[in-house]
Chain A
Amino acid sequence: MTQPSHMQDPLELWATEIAQRALGYAITLVRNRQDAEDIVHDCFSRLLAKSDDYNLPRDGAKLLFKSITNACINHTTRRRPESSLYEQELVKRSKVQDPVDHRTAGPLEIAMAHELGRAVELAMNELPVAQRAAVELRSLGHTLVEVAEMLDVSHANARVLVHRARAELAARLSPFIEETLP
């Protein structure tokens, strides 16, 4: 049986493989699924239109994440300031799962994991978008050099962004972290 033509296209395969990671990343930055989907779609379209100029299966991830990061930062900085109540509401509406397996955990573990998940999400939401992008890109496995390239800042600046984000998160999540530290 032959595969459908779109399955044989390397660009299609590349896009399919990376789309979920890109969408998840954009959602964490703009905190709105529809906006994130529009941004990622637009970035994909622009990149695919230039597929003759780049080797997308090789370099595409870096280019795509760079363009998503910039678009999300633009989107976030242009957006009207929102109240903290709205942030709470966003967290409430979020569909991100709790950091626990509901099939095996007991009620207390589920409740604690739920609380931790919410706290992490809220703490991330309260970071400035550049810091959030930097720390998330690091956690997605990008090096500091790549993070600097994607955010269009110097290497030192990228390091500062990551450090500040970690320090801020450590302060906000200290009750949870202290529980887990030996």
Chain B
Amino acid sequence: VTDGNKRAFSAVDELVQGYVARTVDSADATELIAKIRASRHANALHVETSRSDRDQRIGFNNFDPVGHGVPESIGAGIHLGCDDSARGVGRICGWTPCWSAFSSRFGCPTGCRFRTCPRY
């Protein structure tokens, strides 16, 4: 790299820095932050309600179809061992079941019905 190039490159760096800084300054993230906050809040609510609904509906606390043992807490978002999450199950609703036998028999217990979830 010649001296001329070095000077040109540092001038370019300065211009790019200015451009990125101006873009960041003009990007109003208020709406995005509200969305993130809302989805976290909705997810937390959903986890709570779906957990108690599910437990009541299917007697989940005593259900052990493949003999893995019943975990102490079956909350949405707890990954219990198998890799169903690789197929996208639970990406939105947080439910990542390891019990394939259970989910193929009963479907997703959270009932979020998000369109890209394979259990929908």
Which of the 9-residue segments A69-77, A80-88, A147-155, A166-174 touches chain B? A166-174
Identify whether the interface residues of A are mostly helix, strand, loop, or mixed: helix
Provide the A10-38 mask, 1 if CB < 8 A to any CB of B, else 0: 01100110011111110110000100010
- Check A45–B33 contact: CB distance below 8 A: no
User: B27 to chain A: closest CB distance in Å?
Assistant: 4
User: B44 to chain A: closest CB distance in Å?
Assistant: 11
Chain B interface bracket (under 10, 10 to 19, 20 to 34, 35 or more): 20 to 34
User: B31 to chain A: closest CB distance in Å?
Assistant: 7
A50-102 contacts to B, CB under 8 A, are 52, 95-99
Identify whether the interface residues of B are mostly helix, strand, loop, or mixed: helix
- Check B18–A173 contact: CB distance below 8 A: no
Provide the A140-182 mask, 1 if CB < 8 A to any CB of B, else 0: 1000000000000000000000000011011001101100110
Whether, in the assembled complex, B37 has its beta carbon less than 8 Å from a beta carbon of chain A, the answer is yes
Chain A interface bracket (under 10, 10 to 19, 20 to 34, 35 or more): 35 or more
- Check B17–A139 contact: CB distance below 8 A: yes
Whether A28 contacts B36 in the complex (CB less than 8 A), given A97-B25, A170-B5, comes out as no
